[in-house]
Structure 1
Amino acid sequence: MTTRILAAGDHFVENRLLVDALRREVPGDVDIRELTLPWPTVPFGRVGEVDEASDVEAELIEALKGVEICVTQMAPLTRRVLDACPDLKLFCVSRGGPVNANLEAATKAGVAVTFAPGRNAVATAEHTLAMLLAATRRIPQTHADLAGGVWRGDYYMYDKVGPELEGSTVGLVGYGAIGRRVARMLEGFGAEVLVFDPYVDIPGQVGLDELLARSRFLSLHARATPETTRMIGAAQIALMPAGSVLVNCARGSLLDYDALCAALDSGHLFGAALDVFPEEPIPAGSRLLTTPNLVMTPHLAGASKETAVKAAGIVAADVARYVRGEPLAHCANPALATP
């Protein structure tokens, strides 16, 4: 019996990676169709009732005719798609969370949704450390000055230099796959690491207020939930020691960006580094574009070749489990984890 699969890749998790992983992992006869989505050259956004998806509902519906399994990163699994694609039984999202899938509607339709936890943990941890160092050592600003023909000796003045990681306290809000890797890297620098994460049980964990009051550096790694929305605002930033550095390579919803900008404008924070934002792309006129001592990258902390290859392999492995009739390893709607 032939298993019909749609590889709906993009320009990061490319179809060739998905197809290679599927042919390597999935037993039996497979018929793989391909649809290439425009991300990241065309930004993702809200599509129907789901977030962070490519706006390709019509193209996806056409490509899914007679298809049982879809592997993708950015395709939108909406009610419209589910209603139009009755043959679909498995939707594999090659991301750390299936935000582009309507889980409630998928469950009602009998469509299992899987995801790829930990796919970008190494890349994001490395990027986090790079951003922390870039903000602390003024790397983007000094490079821009030199590229513009300006030698700024005043950056060496005591009041303008930042702290060292060795001997400093770094607070991590969130201690999942990424937070744990960041902690190991920081310990290699000789930093003291504090952790706050109410969802994990680890010895030595401290409360959020204590972590903020003791941390010269703060890095956010929590998941986006209603409880974590704007968990770091003006009151929390005020608890941090003067001259601290804040990094967010997790989710834009975790942070009050107006409060962050105010703390940078006032000098309470020495610097900050951001890879995620409340609105992406950043709109023209945003305060973020004029706030001093702020390093920004366009939501690419997880961007590495290894991330894309790992993502393809993780979803292909769950497709193989499905075909063999085994429980799915990373099912977001557990009631459907067993085919």
Structure 2
Amino acid sequence: MPMIAIAADGFVTPDLFRSALEREIDGAATTFRAITLDWPQEPFGEVGDVLEASGTIEETIDAVAGAHIALTQMAPFTAEVFDASPDLRMVGVCRGGPVNVDLQAATDAGVLVTFAPGRNAQAAAEFAVGLTLSAMRRIPFTNSELKNGAWRGDHYAWENVGVELHGATVGLVGYGAIGRIVARILKAFGADIIVYDPYTDSATLASDGVEAVDGLDELLSRSAVVSLHARLTPETERMIDERALNLLPRGAVLVNTARGGLLDYAPLPGLLQSGRLGAVALDVYDVEPPPGDWPLFVEPNAVVTPHLAGATRQTAMRAADIVARDVARFLDDRTPLHVANPAVLTTLNLVPTS
């Protein structure tokens, strides 16, 4: 009888994991053990040699002792954990990438690692559009003013009013699952969508009714709104730097719900104060959380939220469902759909999916 260890947290809870597993597998033939980590009440961080983790190595070792399968969102799966867990054969991580797992150590230990791509795509896309509208129409700023007793007629003055999405050119940097949903929503507003993504084929873009551009500079120079949806890699790190920002038309709006490392934040206050940027809307940062004296906190045209784009109940349920389906496939000697270290498949006598 396989033992499944669950290292849950306050977002993807033990009940969500259990419910998802019970829908996918025969619960009577499986035993469970569950712990709940302190995230999100306590921030995640680097633990051992893995990133964005919650809890300790010792906690994880205790939680997975004797388990054949472990499911988590945030627990650190380091080389020490794999060395101390000889029965472990699969780790399911219910997030878009298993950054809290040492993949090389897992592979060396013969442990399959799965993940949950697309779990928050709808949530993040909707949030990006919400931030875009908030920045373009100054919704948070005027809301705050009214709550503080100020009903300002001069918000109707030409120099203070917002702009519409209808007829605006919106540039999307990155066109994965989130970018495609953003494009579909914005097209319904009547926006014209242009895309820079060297990894997306032209047929996909054409079928979606969006325009591909040859380079990032062209996208920036043509866009009234730019929304970032690229992955953070050595090639994309700080791809939107001060030079790139100065290519934007005067008064453009910049939205980042992807990764803080894509953007150089230092020039933003000056660009807002000069009017070069009309507004920024940010959910991710180069330092999280930003320091209390961060200059953008006092900029009226900066909309800032604490890394919440993917935070919906549907995201949590979807995440648990994705990994539970891969557990069911694994227990049935079928290859899971979302494998992070395919080199282990041959060790486990599973056939790689095409």
Superposition TM-score, scaled by structure 1 size: 0.97
Contact in 1 for aligned 2:116/2:319 (Cα 8 Å) = yes
Letter in 2 for 1:302: G
Letter in 2 for 1:205: A
> What does residue range 155-194 of structure 1 map to in structure 2 within 5 Å?
155-194=155-194
* 1:255 maps onto 2:263 in alignment: yes
Which shows bigger deviation, 320-329 or 284-293? 284-293
Task: State how far apart, in whole Å, the 2-side matches of 1:297 and 1:32 are.
Answer: 36
Contact in 1 for aligned 2:8/2:35 (Cα 8 Å) = yes
SS in 2 for 1:190: coil
- Residue 327 of structure 1 corresponds to 335
Contact in 2 for aligned 1:247/1:274 (Cα 8 Å) = yes
Identity of paired residues, percent? 55
Task: For residue 30 of structure 1, report the CA deviation from its aligned partner.
Answer: 0.7
- Residue 282 of structure 1 corresponds to 290
Letter in 1 for 2:46: R
Q: Moved runs in structure 1, 4+ residues, more than 6 A?
A: none
Query: Over aligned residue pairs, what C-alpha RMSD do you find?
Result: 1.2
Task: For residue 243 of structure 1, report the CA deviation from its aligned partner.
Answer: 0.4
Task: For residue 266 of structure 1, report the CA deviation from its aligned partner.
Answer: 2.0
* 1:218 maps onto 2:226 in alignment: yes
- Residue 29 of structure 1 corresponds to 29
> What does residue range 36-185 of structure 1 map to in structure 2 within 5 Å?
36-185=36-185
Which shows bigger deviation, 100-109 or 11-20? 100-109
Task: State how far apart, in whole Å, the 2-side matches of 1:257 and 1:166 are.
Answer: 28
Task: For residue 113 of structure 1, report the CA deviation from its aligned partner.
Answer: 1.0
SS in 1 for 2:279: strand
Number of positions where the alignment pairs a residue of Structure 1 with one of Structure 2: 338
Task: State how far apart, in whole Å, the 2-side matches of 1:317 and 1:258 are.
Answer: 43
Structure 2 residues without counterparts, runs of 5 or longer:
349-354
SS in 2 for 1:245: strand
Task: For residue 336 of structure 1, report the CA deviation from its aligned partner.
Answer: 2.1
Task: For residue 133 of structure 1, report the CA deviation from its aligned partner.
Answer: 0.4
Letter in 2 for 1:153: G
Letter in 2 for 1:122: Q
Contact in 2 for aligned 1:136/1:245 (Cα 8 Å) = yes
- Residue 230 of structure 1 corresponds to 238
Contact in 1 for aligned 2:141/2:300 (Cα 8 Å) = no
Letter in 1 for 2:251: G
- 1:268-309 superposed Cα distances (whole Å, 9 cap, x missing partner): 111011111112122222233233411011111011111111
Task: State how far apart, in whole Å, the 2-side matches of 1:11 and 1:337 are.
Answer: 32
Task: State how far apart, in whole Å, the 1-side matches of 2:241 and 2:73 are.
Answer: 31
Contact in 1 for aligned 2:60/2:77 (Cα 8 Å) = no
Task: State how far apart, in whole Å, the 1-side matches of 2:191 and 2:122 are.
Answer: 19
Letter in 1 for 2:8: G
Task: For residue 20 of structure 1, report the CA deviation from its aligned partner.
Answer: 0.8
Structure 1 residues without counterparts, runs of 5 or longer:
none
- Residue 352 of structure 2 corresponds to none
Task: State how far apart, in whole Å, the 1-side matches of 2:299 and 2:69 are.
Answer: 46
Contact in 2 for aligned 1:328/1:337 (Cα 8 Å) = no
